[in-house]
């Protein structure tokens, strides 16, 4: 079952649609549930709502497997997505390796602060949540902002799962933050990356994997529960991302 809320984002001065998945027996049982926050909300639950026409179909997967988890999906602002999902303006790595020349990004802190300080208290008040069992997950830039969120609020997000993360946008900055942050409160990290993220542009695909591997190696030195997987021939699209939903959910609820 999906419910929707309109929530004002004070820090970004805009309204945002929030989609909430409730387990099949939510209204039949008086119990509390773990919560997973996800970005790009239009593409989380149903393909009829998805930008590009293909979603992760998380609602179907959770229903079919009767998984007891509340999922809070935050719709993206299509015009501001890069700014909101990048904590910093593009770094040197993104310019040298990927040829990015525009100066975008920098609103990630405000976005994450909204999730933790405004949205989470609202969800915890409205629904039967386990307040101390909160995780976060994202894809591409959603992976970058999820990792940043865990660094800023390691006491809040117990597990972090990221698919095909576009760390390269803020490579130097996120690496430095990970090195400096005490992540002992976080229970685990799941990271994956396709071997053909940029299709036939082999050098870009290799750079994408290298970007993710660098993050993995930093985390692996600091934490006992870090999983990194490469997905053979997987490109950067929702048809491929959807295949990895079972792994993502299994990691979160394990």
Is residue 37 predicted with pLDDT exceeding 80? yes
Cα-based distances in Å from 62 to 22, 35, 249: 10, 13, 9
Which of 107, 116, 43 has the alpha carbon at shortest distance from 80?
A: 107
Residue 92 banded pLDDT, cuts 50, 70, 90 = confident
CB 97 within 8 A of CB 207: yes
| Rounded Cα distance, 176 and 173, in Å | 5
Question: The sheet that has 33-38: what strands, in order across it?
Answer: 2-9, 14-21, 69-74, 33-38, 129-139, 157-163, 188-194, 226-231
CB 171 within 8 A of CB 211: yes
Rounded to two decimals, what is the model's pTM? Answer: 0.96
Residues 198-252 have pLDDT tens digits of: 998 998 999 999 999 999 999 999 999 999 999 999 999 999 999 999 999 999 9
Residue 169 banded pLDDT, cuts 50, 70, 90 = very high
What is residue 11's predicted lDDT score, i.e. its pLDDT? Answer: 86
What is residue 176's predicted lDDT score, i.e. its pLDDT? Answer: 98
CATH of domain 2-253: 3.40.50.1820
What is residue 165's predicted lDDT score, i.e. its pLDDT? Answer: 98
Residues 94-127 have pLDDT tens digits of: 888 777 777 889 999 999 999 999 999 999 999 9
Domain extents in the chain: 2-253
Which of 70, 68, 38, 69 has the alpha carbon at shortest distance from 56?
A: 38
Report the phi/psi class of residue 5: left, alpha or beta, with left for phi > 0 and alpha for psi in -120 to 50: beta
């Amino acid at each position: 079952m999906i419910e929707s809320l309109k929530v004002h984002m004070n820090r970004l001065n805009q309204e945002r649609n929030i989609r909430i998945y409730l387990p099949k027996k939510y209204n039949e049982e008086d119990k509390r549930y773990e919560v997973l926050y996800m970005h790009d909300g239009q593409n989380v639950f149903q393909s009829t709502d998805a930008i590009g026409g293909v979603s992760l179909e998380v609602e179907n997967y959770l229903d079919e497997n009767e998984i007891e988890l509340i999922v809070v999906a935050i719709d993206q602002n299509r015009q501001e997505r890069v700014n909101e999902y990048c904590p910093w303006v593009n770094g040197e790595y993104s310019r040298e390796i990927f040829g990015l020349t525009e100066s975008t990004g920098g609103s990630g802190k405000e976005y994450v602060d909204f999730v933790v300080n405004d949205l989470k208290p609202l969800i915890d008040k409205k629904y039967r949540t386990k307040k101390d069992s909160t995780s976060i997950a994202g894809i591409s830039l959603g992976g970058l902002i999820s990792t940043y969120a865990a660094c800023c609020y390691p006491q809040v997000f117990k597990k972090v799962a990221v698919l095909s993360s576009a760390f390269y946008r803020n490579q130097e900055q996120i690496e430095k933050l990970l090195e400096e942050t005490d992540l002992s409160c976080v229970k685990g990290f799941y990271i994956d990356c396709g071997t053909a993220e940029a299709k036939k542009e082999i050098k870009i695909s290799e750079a994408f994997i290298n970007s993710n591997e660098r993050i993995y190696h930093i985390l692996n030195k600091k934490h006992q529960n870090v999983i990194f997987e490469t997905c053979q021939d997987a490109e950067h699209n929702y048809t491929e991302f959807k295949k990895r939903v079972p792994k993502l959910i299994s990691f979160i609820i394990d």
